[in-house]
Amino acid sequence: MRRTFKFLFLPILAIGLFIYVYQSSLSPKLGLDLQGGISVILTADQDTDPEVLEKSVEIMRTRIEAFGDVQEPEISISGNNAVLVQLPGVTDQERAIEALGATGLLTFRPVLASSFDTGYSPAFEYLPNPDDPENPIKVSAPGVDEEIGITLDDNPNTESYLLSITSSYPVIYKLGPAVLTGNDIEDAIAAYPENEWIVSLEFKDSSAVKFTDLTKQLARESGDKRRLAIVLDGEIVSAPGIALDVNPDIGITGGTAAISMGNTDTGESANNLAVILRYGALPVSFERSSIQKVSASLGEDTLNLGLQAGLIGLIIISIIIILYYRFLGFISVFGLSMFGLLFYSVISVLGNLQGFTLTLAGIAGIIVSIGLAADSYIVTFEKLKDEIKVGRSFEFAANKAVDESWKTILTADFVSLSAAFLLYILAVGPIRGFALALGIATIFDLLFTRLYTRNVVPIVVSRIKNTRFLFPIKNKDITNV
Protein backbone atom coordinates (compact mmCIF):
# COMPACT_ATOMS: atom_id res chain seq x y z
CA MET A 1 0.00 0.00 0.00
CA ARG A 2 2.80 2.37 0.85
CA ARG A 3 4.43 1.40 -2.41
CA THR A 4 1.28 2.25 -4.34
CA PHE A 5 1.21 5.65 -2.72
CA LYS A 6 4.90 6.23 -3.45
CA PHE A 7 4.75 5.32 -7.13
CA LEU A 8 1.62 7.38 -7.63
CA PHE A 9 3.14 10.43 -5.98
CA LEU A 10 5.04 11.79 -8.98
CA PRO A 11 2.33 11.10 -11.61
CA ILE A 12 -0.25 12.80 -9.39
CA LEU A 13 2.11 15.71 -8.79
CA ALA A 14 2.79 15.98 -12.52
CA ILE A 15 -0.89 15.90 -13.49
CA GLY A 16 -1.84 18.29 -10.68
CA LEU A 17 0.83 20.79 -11.60
CA PHE A 18 -0.08 20.51 -15.26
CA ILE A 19 -3.74 21.23 -14.51
CA TYR A 20 -2.66 24.26 -12.48
CA VAL A 21 -0.41 25.47 -15.30
CA TYR A 22 -3.14 24.84 -17.87
CA GLN A 23 -5.80 26.66 -15.87
CA SER A 24 -3.68 29.69 -15.16
CA SER A 25 -2.75 29.52 -18.87
CA LEU A 26 0.97 29.62 -18.18
CA SER A 27 3.35 28.49 -20.87
CA PRO A 28 7.15 28.31 -21.03
CA LYS A 29 8.77 31.67 -21.53
CA LEU A 30 10.51 31.47 -24.86
CA GLY A 31 13.99 32.79 -25.50
CA LEU A 32 14.79 35.19 -28.31
CA ASP A 33 15.94 32.44 -30.61
CA LEU A 34 12.48 30.88 -30.46
CA GLN A 35 10.24 33.94 -30.65
CA GLY A 36 12.39 36.41 -32.56
CA GLY A 37 13.96 39.66 -31.41
CA ILE A 38 17.30 41.32 -30.86
CA SER A 39 20.01 40.32 -28.47
CA VAL A 40 22.98 42.60 -27.88
CA ILE A 41 26.03 42.21 -25.72
CA LEU A 42 27.51 45.52 -24.58
CA THR A 43 31.05 45.26 -23.28
CA ALA A 44 32.82 47.73 -21.00
CA ASP A 45 36.53 47.84 -20.23
CA GLN A 46 38.08 44.67 -18.83
CA ASP A 47 38.60 45.95 -15.27
CA THR A 48 35.26 47.68 -14.75
CA ASP A 49 34.04 47.78 -11.16
CA PRO A 50 31.01 45.44 -10.71
CA GLU A 51 29.15 48.21 -8.89
CA VAL A 52 29.58 50.53 -11.84
CA LEU A 53 28.22 47.78 -14.08
CA GLU A 54 25.19 47.34 -11.85
CA LYS A 55 24.54 51.06 -11.87
CA SER A 56 24.72 51.06 -15.66
CA VAL A 57 22.17 48.24 -15.84
CA GLU A 58 19.86 50.21 -13.54
CA ILE A 59 20.10 53.27 -15.77
CA MET A 60 19.55 51.17 -18.90
CA ARG A 61 16.42 49.66 -17.31
CA THR A 62 14.92 53.07 -16.56
CA ARG A 63 15.78 54.20 -20.07
CA ILE A 64 14.15 51.19 -21.72
CA GLU A 65 11.03 51.59 -19.61
CA ALA A 66 10.81 55.18 -20.74
CA PHE A 67 10.94 54.09 -24.40
CA GLY A 68 7.64 52.40 -23.71
CA ASP A 69 6.91 50.13 -26.63
CA VAL A 70 9.43 47.39 -25.87
CA GLN A 71 7.86 44.25 -24.43
CA GLU A 72 9.58 42.32 -21.66
CA PRO A 73 13.08 43.63 -22.12
CA GLU A 74 15.78 41.73 -20.33
CA ILE A 75 18.93 43.47 -19.23
CA SER A 76 21.42 41.55 -17.16
CA ILE A 77 25.09 41.49 -16.28
CA SER A 78 26.94 38.76 -18.15
CA GLY A 79 30.43 37.79 -17.12
CA ASN A 80 32.87 40.31 -15.65
CA ASN A 81 32.42 43.28 -17.89
CA ALA A 82 29.46 42.78 -20.20
CA VAL A 83 25.76 43.56 -20.19
CA LEU A 84 23.34 41.35 -22.07
CA VAL A 85 20.33 43.17 -23.53
CA GLN A 86 17.50 41.12 -24.95
CA LEU A 87 14.53 42.70 -26.64
CA PRO A 88 11.99 40.16 -27.85
CA GLY A 89 9.61 40.79 -30.71
CA VAL A 90 10.83 42.73 -33.71
CA THR A 91 9.66 46.28 -34.26
CA ASP A 92 12.09 49.16 -34.69
CA GLN A 93 14.27 48.11 -31.83
CA GLU A 94 17.67 48.87 -33.27
CA ARG A 95 17.04 52.47 -32.36
CA ALA A 96 16.15 51.43 -28.82
CA ILE A 97 19.40 49.53 -28.52
CA GLU A 98 21.34 52.46 -29.90
CA ALA A 99 19.87 54.77 -27.28
CA LEU A 100 20.28 52.17 -24.58
CA GLY A 101 23.99 51.74 -25.04
CA ALA A 102 24.83 55.42 -25.57
CA THR A 103 26.83 56.76 -22.67
CA GLY A 104 24.79 59.96 -22.62
CA LEU A 105 27.48 62.18 -21.10
CA LEU A 106 26.26 65.74 -21.68
CA THR A 107 28.44 68.81 -21.06
CA PHE A 108 28.10 72.56 -21.61
CA ARG A 109 31.39 74.10 -22.65
CA PRO A 110 32.34 77.64 -23.71
CA VAL A 111 33.68 77.98 -27.25
CA LEU A 112 37.18 79.48 -27.44
CA ALA A 113 37.77 79.44 -31.19
CA SER A 114 36.45 77.77 -34.35
CA SER A 115 37.34 76.86 -37.91
CA PHE A 116 34.65 79.23 -39.28
CA ASP A 117 36.97 81.94 -40.53
CA THR A 118 40.20 80.08 -41.14
CA GLY A 119 38.75 76.91 -42.68
CA TYR A 120 41.12 74.74 -40.71
CA SER A 121 41.04 73.38 -37.18
CA PRO A 122 41.94 75.86 -34.43
CA ALA A 123 44.26 73.12 -33.17
CA PHE A 124 46.62 73.99 -36.01
CA GLU A 125 48.76 77.06 -36.19
CA TYR A 126 50.66 78.04 -39.35
CA LEU A 127 53.89 79.92 -38.73
CA PRO A 128 55.59 81.79 -41.60
CA ASN A 129 58.39 79.77 -43.08
CA PRO A 130 61.39 81.97 -43.87
CA ASP A 131 62.93 79.37 -46.21
CA ASP A 132 59.83 78.55 -48.19
CA PRO A 133 57.07 81.22 -47.92
CA GLU A 134 54.66 79.03 -49.96
CA ASN A 135 54.64 76.27 -47.29
CA PRO A 136 54.16 77.62 -43.79
CA ILE A 137 55.17 75.47 -40.83
CA LYS A 138 52.21 73.62 -39.29
CA VAL A 139 52.14 73.40 -35.50
CA SER A 140 49.47 71.19 -33.86
CA ALA A 141 48.14 71.35 -30.35
CA PRO A 142 49.00 68.28 -28.22
CA GLY A 143 46.63 65.30 -28.33
CA VAL A 144 44.97 65.96 -31.68
CA ASP A 145 45.16 63.91 -34.86
CA GLU A 146 47.44 65.28 -37.57
CA GLU A 147 44.96 65.17 -40.46
CA ILE A 148 41.81 66.92 -39.30
CA GLY A 149 42.78 68.39 -35.96
CA ILE A 150 40.30 66.79 -33.56
CA THR A 151 41.17 65.81 -30.00
CA LEU A 152 41.65 62.06 -29.92
CA ASP A 153 40.85 61.33 -26.30
CA ASP A 154 38.36 63.90 -25.14
CA ASN A 155 38.40 64.88 -21.48
CA PRO A 156 35.64 67.33 -20.53
CA ASN A 157 37.82 68.84 -17.80
CA THR A 158 40.50 70.17 -20.17
CA GLU A 159 40.49 72.17 -23.39
CA SER A 160 39.70 70.10 -26.48
CA TYR A 161 39.02 70.40 -30.19
CA LEU A 162 35.76 68.75 -31.25
CA LEU A 163 33.74 68.41 -34.43
CA SER A 164 30.22 69.75 -34.77
CA ILE A 165 28.10 67.33 -36.75
CA THR A 166 24.71 68.98 -36.94
CA SER A 167 25.49 72.09 -38.98
CA SER A 168 25.26 71.86 -42.75
CA TYR A 169 29.05 71.89 -43.08
CA PRO A 170 31.50 70.52 -40.51
CA VAL A 171 32.98 72.97 -38.04
CA ILE A 172 35.72 72.27 -35.52
CA TYR A 173 35.51 74.17 -32.28
CA LYS A 174 38.10 74.75 -29.61
CA LEU A 175 36.30 74.27 -26.30
CA GLY A 176 37.07 75.23 -22.74
CA PRO A 177 36.55 72.83 -19.80
CA ALA A 178 32.95 71.82 -19.06
CA VAL A 179 31.06 74.22 -16.83
CA LEU A 180 27.83 72.27 -16.54
CA THR A 181 27.13 68.56 -17.08
CA GLY A 182 24.14 66.23 -17.41
CA ASN A 183 24.10 65.99 -13.61
CA ASP A 184 22.94 69.60 -13.45
CA ILE A 185 19.79 68.78 -15.38
CA GLU A 186 16.51 68.36 -13.54
CA ASP A 187 14.34 67.40 -16.49
CA ALA A 188 14.48 67.06 -20.26
CA ILE A 189 11.48 67.04 -22.60
CA ALA A 190 11.23 66.68 -26.35
CA ALA A 191 9.10 69.38 -27.98
CA TYR A 192 8.19 70.69 -31.43
CA PRO A 193 7.66 74.43 -30.94
CA GLU A 194 8.15 75.66 -34.51
CA ASN A 195 9.46 73.85 -37.56
CA GLU A 196 11.96 71.73 -35.69
CA TRP A 197 12.34 69.33 -32.81
CA ILE A 198 14.05 70.52 -29.66
CA VAL A 199 15.00 68.98 -26.37
CA SER A 200 14.08 71.47 -23.69
CA LEU A 201 16.30 71.30 -20.63
CA GLU A 202 15.51 72.44 -17.14
CA PHE A 203 18.40 72.92 -14.72
CA LYS A 204 18.38 72.05 -11.08
CA ASP A 205 17.91 75.10 -8.84
CA SER A 206 21.49 75.03 -7.63
CA SER A 207 22.82 74.76 -11.17
CA ALA A 208 20.61 77.48 -12.66
CA VAL A 209 22.89 80.06 -11.03
CA LYS A 210 25.92 78.49 -12.66
CA PHE A 211 24.18 78.67 -16.03
CA THR A 212 23.28 82.34 -15.51
CA ASP A 213 26.87 83.13 -14.52
CA LEU A 214 28.16 81.34 -17.61
CA THR A 215 25.85 83.26 -19.93
CA LYS A 216 26.79 86.56 -18.24
CA GLN A 217 30.42 85.82 -18.94
CA LEU A 218 29.75 84.81 -22.57
CA ALA A 219 27.57 87.87 -23.25
CA ARG A 220 30.64 90.05 -22.67
CA GLU A 221 32.48 88.31 -25.52
CA SER A 222 31.98 88.69 -29.24
CA GLY A 223 32.17 86.38 -32.25
CA ASP A 224 32.90 82.69 -31.66
CA LYS A 225 33.54 83.33 -28.02
CA ARG A 226 29.86 84.19 -27.51
CA ARG A 227 28.99 80.57 -28.31
CA LEU A 228 28.10 77.84 -25.83
CA ALA A 229 28.72 74.27 -27.07
CA ILE A 230 26.45 71.43 -25.97
CA VAL A 231 28.49 68.22 -26.21
CA LEU A 232 27.06 64.70 -26.05
CA ASP A 233 29.45 61.75 -25.86
CA GLY A 234 32.31 63.69 -27.40
CA GLU A 235 30.31 65.17 -30.28
CA ILE A 236 29.04 68.74 -30.42
CA VAL A 237 25.26 68.60 -30.75
CA SER A 238 24.90 72.35 -31.18
CA ALA A 239 26.86 75.50 -30.44
CA PRO A 240 24.36 78.38 -30.30
CA GLY A 241 25.60 81.94 -29.81
CA ILE A 242 24.25 83.96 -26.89
CA ALA A 243 21.73 86.39 -28.37
CA LEU A 244 23.08 89.95 -28.77
CA ASP A 245 20.35 91.48 -26.59
CA VAL A 246 21.40 89.52 -23.51
CA ASN A 247 22.56 91.91 -20.83
CA PRO A 248 26.07 90.91 -19.59
CA ASP A 249 25.09 91.99 -16.08
CA ILE A 250 21.98 89.76 -15.94
CA GLY A 251 22.69 86.79 -18.23
CA ILE A 252 20.05 84.19 -19.11
CA THR A 253 17.86 83.48 -16.11
CA GLY A 254 15.07 80.96 -15.52
CA GLY A 255 17.32 77.89 -15.63
CA THR A 256 16.28 76.52 -19.00
CA ALA A 257 18.09 75.76 -22.24
CA ALA A 258 17.21 73.97 -25.46
CA ILE A 259 19.03 71.67 -27.85
CA SER A 260 17.83 71.86 -31.44
CA MET A 261 17.44 68.50 -33.12
CA GLY A 262 16.33 69.55 -36.62
CA ASN A 263 13.35 67.89 -38.30
CA THR A 264 14.87 64.93 -40.10
CA ASP A 265 12.64 62.42 -38.33
CA THR A 266 9.32 62.46 -36.50
CA GLY A 267 10.82 63.22 -33.14
CA GLU A 268 12.38 59.82 -32.32
CA SER A 269 15.89 61.18 -31.88
CA ALA A 270 14.65 64.11 -29.78
CA ASN A 271 12.64 61.72 -27.61
CA ASN A 272 15.55 59.34 -27.21
CA LEU A 273 17.91 62.14 -26.25
CA ALA A 274 15.41 63.51 -23.74
CA VAL A 275 15.10 60.07 -22.16
CA ILE A 276 18.87 59.64 -22.01
CA LEU A 277 19.32 63.06 -20.41
CA ARG A 278 16.49 62.60 -17.96
CA TYR A 279 17.93 59.40 -16.50
CA GLY A 280 21.55 60.43 -16.57
CA ALA A 281 24.74 59.26 -18.20
CA LEU A 282 26.09 55.74 -17.89
CA PRO A 283 29.09 55.73 -15.55
CA VAL A 284 31.16 53.85 -18.15
CA SER A 285 31.11 53.61 -21.92
CA PHE A 286 30.10 50.42 -23.69
CA GLU A 287 30.98 48.83 -26.98
CA ARG A 288 28.65 46.50 -28.84
CA SER A 289 30.50 43.22 -29.02
CA SER A 290 27.74 41.02 -30.32
CA ILE A 291 24.39 41.53 -31.98
CA GLN A 292 21.99 38.81 -32.90
CA LYS A 293 18.74 39.40 -34.65
CA VAL A 294 16.27 36.60 -35.17
CA SER A 295 13.08 37.08 -37.16
CA ALA A 296 9.88 35.86 -35.56
CA SER A 297 9.17 33.40 -38.37
CA LEU A 298 12.50 31.61 -38.05
CA GLY A 299 12.07 31.35 -34.29
CA GLU A 300 8.64 29.80 -34.76
CA ASP A 301 9.90 27.36 -37.38
CA THR A 302 12.71 26.25 -35.09
CA LEU A 303 10.37 25.80 -32.14
CA ASN A 304 7.98 23.72 -34.26
CA LEU A 305 10.85 21.64 -35.57
CA GLY A 306 12.02 20.94 -32.04
CA LEU A 307 8.52 20.06 -30.85
CA GLN A 308 7.74 17.84 -33.83
CA ALA A 309 11.08 16.11 -33.64
CA GLY A 310 10.62 15.53 -29.92
CA LEU A 311 7.13 14.14 -30.43
CA ILE A 312 8.12 11.83 -33.29
CA GLY A 313 11.15 10.69 -31.31
CA LEU A 314 8.97 9.96 -28.30
CA ILE A 315 6.46 7.95 -30.34
CA ILE A 316 9.16 5.84 -32.01
CA ILE A 317 10.90 5.22 -28.69
CA SER A 318 7.59 4.21 -27.11
CA ILE A 319 6.91 1.68 -29.87
CA ILE A 320 10.41 0.21 -29.58
CA ILE A 321 10.28 -0.01 -25.79
CA ILE A 322 6.84 -1.64 -25.81
CA LEU A 323 7.97 -4.18 -28.42
CA TYR A 324 11.03 -5.04 -26.34
CA TYR A 325 9.70 -4.95 -22.83
CA ARG A 326 5.98 -5.60 -23.32
CA PHE A 327 4.10 -4.67 -20.17
CA LEU A 328 7.20 -3.12 -18.66
CA GLY A 329 7.28 -0.97 -21.78
CA PHE A 330 3.91 0.52 -20.90
CA ILE A 331 5.21 1.32 -17.44
CA SER A 332 8.14 3.22 -18.88
CA VAL A 333 6.07 5.02 -21.53
CA PHE A 334 3.65 6.16 -18.83
CA GLY A 335 6.62 7.24 -16.67
CA LEU A 336 8.21 9.12 -19.56
CA SER A 337 4.94 10.92 -20.33
CA MET A 338 4.64 11.99 -16.70
CA PHE A 339 8.30 13.06 -16.84
CA GLY A 340 7.48 15.22 -19.86
CA LEU A 341 4.36 16.67 -18.25
CA LEU A 342 6.21 17.57 -15.05
CA PHE A 343 9.08 19.09 -17.01
CA TYR A 344 6.75 21.23 -19.09
CA SER A 345 4.85 22.42 -16.01
CA VAL A 346 7.97 23.21 -14.01
CA ILE A 347 9.51 25.16 -16.89
CA SER A 348 6.27 27.14 -17.28
CA VAL A 349 6.15 27.94 -13.58
CA LEU A 350 9.86 28.82 -13.46
CA GLY A 351 9.42 31.06 -16.49
CA ASN A 352 6.80 33.07 -14.63
CA LEU A 353 8.38 33.08 -11.20
CA GLN A 354 12.09 33.22 -11.92
CA GLY A 355 12.16 34.50 -15.48
CA PHE A 356 13.61 31.21 -16.72
CA THR A 357 13.55 31.31 -20.50
CA LEU A 358 13.50 28.28 -22.72
CA THR A 359 16.03 28.64 -25.50
CA LEU A 360 17.00 26.41 -28.38
CA ALA A 361 19.91 25.06 -26.38
CA GLY A 362 17.45 24.28 -23.59
CA ILE A 363 15.28 22.29 -26.00
CA ALA A 364 18.40 20.40 -27.06
CA GLY A 365 19.07 19.62 -23.41
CA ILE A 366 15.51 18.32 -23.03
CA ILE A 367 15.78 16.10 -26.09
CA VAL A 368 19.00 14.67 -24.69
CA SER A 369 17.39 14.09 -21.30
CA ILE A 370 14.54 12.10 -22.85
CA GLY A 371 17.24 9.65 -23.99
CA LEU A 372 18.76 9.55 -20.51
CA ALA A 373 15.39 9.03 -18.84
CA ALA A 374 14.53 6.20 -21.23
CA ASP A 375 17.89 4.63 -20.47
CA SER A 376 17.13 4.49 -16.76
CA TYR A 377 14.19 2.19 -17.53
CA ILE A 378 16.29 0.07 -19.85
CA VAL A 379 18.97 -0.36 -17.19
CA THR A 380 16.33 -1.49 -14.68
CA PHE A 381 14.64 -3.90 -17.09
CA GLU A 382 17.95 -5.43 -18.15
CA LYS A 383 18.87 -6.05 -14.51
CA LEU A 384 15.47 -7.68 -14.02
CA LYS A 385 16.11 -9.93 -17.00
CA ASP A 386 19.50 -10.94 -15.61
CA GLU A 387 17.96 -11.80 -12.25
CA ILE A 388 15.14 -13.84 -13.77
CA LYS A 389 17.70 -15.60 -15.94
CA VAL A 390 19.62 -16.95 -12.95
CA GLY A 391 16.40 -18.53 -11.71
CA ARG A 392 15.00 -16.11 -9.18
CA SER A 393 11.29 -15.71 -8.68
CA PHE A 394 9.72 -12.74 -10.45
CA GLU A 395 8.99 -10.93 -7.23
CA PHE A 396 12.45 -11.38 -5.75
CA ALA A 397 14.11 -10.53 -9.08
CA ALA A 398 12.07 -7.34 -9.40
CA ASN A 399 13.02 -6.12 -5.95
CA LYS A 400 16.68 -6.90 -6.47
CA ALA A 401 16.69 -5.32 -9.94
CA VAL A 402 15.24 -2.00 -8.79
CA ASP A 403 17.68 -1.82 -5.87
CA GLU A 404 20.75 -2.55 -7.97
CA SER A 405 19.77 -0.39 -10.93
CA TRP A 406 19.13 2.50 -8.55
CA LYS A 407 22.80 2.39 -7.56
CA THR A 408 23.93 2.29 -11.19
CA ILE A 409 21.62 5.12 -12.22
CA LEU A 410 22.70 7.15 -9.19
CA THR A 411 26.35 6.89 -10.27
CA ALA A 412 25.64 7.65 -13.91
CA ASP A 413 23.25 10.52 -13.14
CA PHE A 414 25.74 11.93 -10.69
CA VAL A 415 28.20 12.23 -13.58
CA SER A 416 25.53 13.96 -15.71
CA LEU A 417 24.55 16.25 -12.87
CA SER A 418 28.15 17.25 -12.16
CA ALA A 419 28.64 17.89 -15.86
CA ALA A 420 25.53 20.08 -15.95
CA PHE A 421 26.56 21.91 -12.78
CA LEU A 422 30.11 22.57 -13.98
CA LEU A 423 28.88 23.72 -17.37
CA TYR A 424 26.41 26.07 -15.76
CA ILE A 425 29.07 27.67 -13.59
CA LEU A 426 31.85 27.84 -16.14
CA ALA A 427 30.14 28.52 -19.44
CA VAL A 428 28.48 31.59 -20.91
CA GLY A 429 25.40 32.32 -22.98
CA PRO A 430 23.47 29.50 -24.63
CA ILE A 431 25.50 26.74 -22.96
CA ARG A 432 24.05 27.75 -19.60
CA GLY A 433 20.49 27.22 -20.86
CA PHE A 434 21.51 23.78 -22.02
CA ALA A 435 23.18 22.94 -18.70
CA LEU A 436 20.17 24.11 -16.72
CA ALA A 437 17.72 22.01 -18.75
CA LEU A 438 20.00 18.98 -18.49
CA GLY A 439 20.43 19.48 -14.75
CA ILE A 440 16.68 19.78 -14.06
CA ALA A 441 15.99 16.75 -16.23
CA THR A 442 18.63 14.66 -14.45
CA ILE A 443 17.15 15.50 -11.04
CA PHE A 444 13.71 14.51 -12.33
CA ASP A 445 15.20 11.29 -13.67
CA LEU A 446 16.58 10.48 -10.22
CA LEU A 447 13.23 11.27 -8.59
CA PHE A 448 11.33 9.13 -11.05
CA THR A 449 13.75 6.22 -10.72
CA ARG A 450 13.65 6.35 -6.94
CA LEU A 451 9.93 6.91 -6.40
CA TYR A 452 8.16 5.69 -9.51
CA THR A 453 10.22 2.92 -11.16
CA ARG A 454 11.48 1.49 -7.90
CA ASN A 455 7.97 0.92 -6.58
CA VAL A 456 5.86 0.27 -9.64
CA VAL A 457 8.07 -2.43 -11.17
CA PRO A 458 7.92 -4.87 -8.20
CA ILE A 459 4.15 -4.33 -7.85
CA VAL A 460 3.49 -5.10 -11.49
CA VAL A 461 6.07 -7.86 -11.99
CA SER A 462 4.97 -9.81 -8.91
CA ARG A 463 1.50 -10.16 -10.46
CA ILE A 464 2.82 -11.47 -13.77
CA LYS A 465 3.38 -15.18 -14.22
CA ASN A 466 4.56 -15.44 -17.82
CA THR A 467 7.83 -14.10 -19.22
CA ARG A 468 6.03 -13.29 -22.45
CA PHE A 469 4.42 -10.30 -20.80
CA LEU A 470 7.78 -8.89 -19.84
CA PHE A 471 10.19 -9.83 -22.60
CA PRO A 472 9.93 -11.00 -26.21
CA ILE A 473 10.96 -14.54 -25.24
CA LYS A 474 9.24 -17.63 -23.92
CA ASN A 475 9.28 -18.90 -20.37
CA LYS A 476 11.27 -21.99 -21.27
CA ASP A 477 13.99 -19.97 -23.06
CA ILE A 478 14.78 -17.93 -20.02
CA THR A 479 14.78 -20.79 -17.55
CA ASN A 480 16.72 -23.12 -19.83
CA VAL A 481 19.95 -21.21 -19.40
Partner 1 sequence: MFKNLFLGNTNIDFYNKRNLLQKIFIVEIAIFLTVLICAAIGILNLNFSIDFTGGTTYQLTSEYSKSDIDEVLTNNILEVSRYQTYENSDTVLFRAVEGSQSQETEFLNYLANKFNVDSNEIEFQRVGPTFGQEITTKGIRALVIFLSFIVLLISIRFQFRFSIVALIALIHDLLICTTIYLLLNFEITPSTVIALLTILGYSLYDTVILFDKLRDSQRMNKESNLSIKTLNKTFNEILMRSINTSITSAVPIASILFLGNIIGLSGTLTDFALPLFIGIISGTYSSIFVTIPFLSRIINK
Question: Segment 409-448, which members bind partner 1 (CB under 8 A)?
Answer: 411-412, 414-416, 418-419, 422-423, 426-431, 434, 438
Q: State the minimum distance, in angstroms, from the CB of residue 150 to partner 1.
A: 17
Judged by beta carbon, residue 234 or residue 306, the one nearer partner 1 is 306
Contact (CB, 8 A) for 80 and 46: yes
Q: How far is CA 331 from the centre of its chain?
A: 41
> Taking CB under 8 A as the rule, does residue 139 contact partner 1?
no
- Exposure class string for 312-327: b at 16+ Cβ within 10 A, else e: eebeebbeebbeebbe
* Residues near partner 1 (CB under 8 A), total: 75
Judged by beta carbon, residue 62 or residue 91, the one nearer partner 1 is 91
> Taking CB under 8 A as the rule, does residue 477 contact partner 1?
yes
> Taking CB under 8 A as the rule, does residue 353 contact partner 1?
no
Query: Smallest Cα–Cα separation from 179: which of 219, 149, 217?
Result: 217
Contact (CB, 8 A) for 355 and 426: no
> Taking CB under 8 A as the rule, does residue 313 contact partner 1?
yes
Angstrom distance (rounded) from CA 399 to CA 411: 19
> Taking CB under 8 A as the rule, does residue 66 contact partner 1?
no
176: Cβ contacts below 8 Å, ≥ 6 apart = 109, 110, 111, 112, 159
Site string (20-39) toward partner 1, x via CB under 8 A: -------------x------
- One residue of 241, 283, 310, 351 binding partner 1 per CB under 8 A: 310
The full length of the chain comes to 481
Judged by beta carbon, residue 99 or residue 208, the one nearer partner 1 is 99
Q: Of 91-130, which residues contact partner 1 (CB under 8 A)?
A: 94
Eight-state DSSP code of residue 449: I
> Taking CB under 8 A as the rule, does residue 284 contact partner 1?
no
Q: Of 356-385, which residues contact partner 1 (CB under 8 A)?
A: 360-361, 363-364, 367-368, 370-372, 374-375, 378-379, 382, 385
Angstrom distance (rounded) from CA 171 to CA 418: 62
Q: State the minimum distance, in angstroms, from the CB of residue 90 to partner 1.
A: 5
Q: State the minimum distance, in angstroms, from the CB of residue 434 to partner 1.
A: 5
Site string (237-276) toward partner 1, x via CB under 8 A: ----------------------------------------
Handedness of CA 267, 279, 207, 105 (dihedral sign): negative
For the chain, count helices (H), then strands (E).
Answer: 12, 17
